[in-house]
Copies of this chain bind each other. A is one copy, B any other.
Amino acid sequence: MTPDTLSITFGALADPTRRAILARLARGEASVTELAEPFKMSLPAVSKHLKVLERAGLIARGREAQWRPARLEAGPLKDVSEWVGEYRRFWEESFERLDEYLRELQKKTKRNDKTRTEEEQQDPNE
């Protein structure tokens, strides 16, 4: 079975170095040498990551034989955004539930504080 496009994209993104390469390319295109430098990686290691990103359509490479600058291609990221956007209501709901819980907690704390203050006022010399 050939993996579907979205699976290939998610697979390519499941690596911190590849995500760091994308973050670097978001600032402008770069050659393999330029990419290897900040990551303290060998050129073949960077090339391997670039191949994975290229296969996923997340980057494109220039045609010049020596200097083949890589640049970001945002299409698959848009697909990821659309896919995950379908679940937005779930994290918004859980945030609302947490918010409600915290408001309830705050109300109770205030009530307790008030009760305590009243008790203290009733017995000032205790």
Task: Please report A residues at the B interface, Cβ cutoff 8 Å.
Answer: 3-4, 6-8, 10-11, 13-16, 19, 22-23, 26, 72, 74-75, 77-78, 80-81, 83-88, 90-91, 93-94
Contact = CB atoms under 8 A, between A and B. Distances in A.
A88 B94 contact: no
A94 B26 CA distance: 13
A117 to B, nearest CB: 38
Main DSSP-derived SS at the A contact region: helix
23 contacts: A3-B16, A7-B14, A7-B19, A10-B10, A10-B11, A10-B13, A10-B14, A11-B11, A14-B14, A19-B83, A23-B86, A26-B86, A26-B90, A72-B87, A72-B90, A74-B93, A74-B94, A77-B90, A77-B91, A80-B84, A81-B81, A81-B84, A84-B84
